[in-house]
Amino acid sequence: MSEPHNASAITVKLANPKMNVLKLAQLAARQNTAGNPLLAGIFVADAAMHTLGANLNDEYTKFKASPPASTKALVNSRINLLCNAYNKNAGFIQAAARDLVISSGDINQGINLVENSGYLQKNPRSATLKGFKVVPDGVGAVLISTKAVARNAIYIRLYGIAPAKDVVPPPEAIRPLLISHEADIRLINLKSVTCYAFCEGSLLPISRKPDSGTPTTEVEKAATPSAFTKAHKRTFIDSDQPAYFFGPWKWVVVL
């Protein structure tokens, strides 16, 4: 779970007219918002956005033909149409995702809304999730790995049996936390030929360097110390509020 102020961490990437033409067309083709009630009022529907991408791709193909069957001006016109539509939708999805984070208290729900819509986030969901991977590693086992973020960092993994790929396990199916200092771990005794979902969070170590002349307050003495910045700055938090949040779910079918 996350604090409502984490909603500002949801930032959807915008399309830029200077981007590669084929990449712009691919961005448009990725949109998948139909059937989501939270996105029912989106400015440009999926079919229309896909058409904008296809039209840009076709115009660019004609322009690159020999001899050219189109002009740079026409290609630029298609680019601008697509970017304008895409960015309006990106703003709409970003607002809907942030509202969802605030109402649910869970940043992952906002992240999933963005990604399931086919859009991309501008910022990583967490500085602790670089290289997070889960792969089958023998019968009934998986290898969970992460790019190490700091010496003595604590990695917190959550997993459970998923009804299907891209579906988060129901609460009753989620296992207890796996907590360790290891960036790479092997999890065994899982059910074979079964879909599992995994997610991760982490805590950075507390700096051992004492504060220069700063007195320790009574609140600090009673609080639970926890560090969560790359600068390893010491921060005290209420014990009921974790200093981390879980990142995206990843799905794998166990052998």
Q: What percent of the chain is predicted at pLDDT more than 90? A: 47
- Mean pLDDT of the residues in the chain: 81
Q: What is the pLDDT of residue 234?
A: 43
Lowest mean pLDDT among 43-57, 194-208, 225-239: 225-239
User: Residue ranges of the alpha helices (H) in the chain?
Assistant: 21-30, 46-64, 72-104, 107-116, 218-222
- Same domain (yes/no): 54, 148: no
pLDDT at 61 > cutoff 60: yes
Identify the CATH number of the domain in which residue 145 sits.
2.60.40
| Residue 170 within a domain | yes
For the chain, what is the domain count?
A: 2
| Residue 126 within a domain | no
Dist. CA 253–CA 140, nearest whole Å = 10
- Same domain (yes/no): 82, 178: no
| Residue 12 within a domain | yes
- Same domain (yes/no): 66, 164: no
Q: What is the domain extent for residue 66?
A: 4-116
Q: What average pLDDT score do residues 131-137 get?
A: 88
pLDDT 10s digits, 191-202: 999 999 998 888
- Same domain (yes/no): 112, 149: no
**Spatial CA neighbour of 123 closest among 135, 136, 114:** 114
CA distances from residue 193 to 77, 134, 164, 172 in whole angstroms, order as listed: 50, 15, 12, 20
pLDDT 10s digits, 68-120: 999 999 999 999 999 999 999 999 999 999 999 888 877 778 888 998 899 99
Q: What is the pLDDT of residue 244?
A: 61
- Same domain (yes/no): 106, 39: yes
pTM comes to: 0.53
Dist. CA 50–CA 20, nearest whole Å = 17
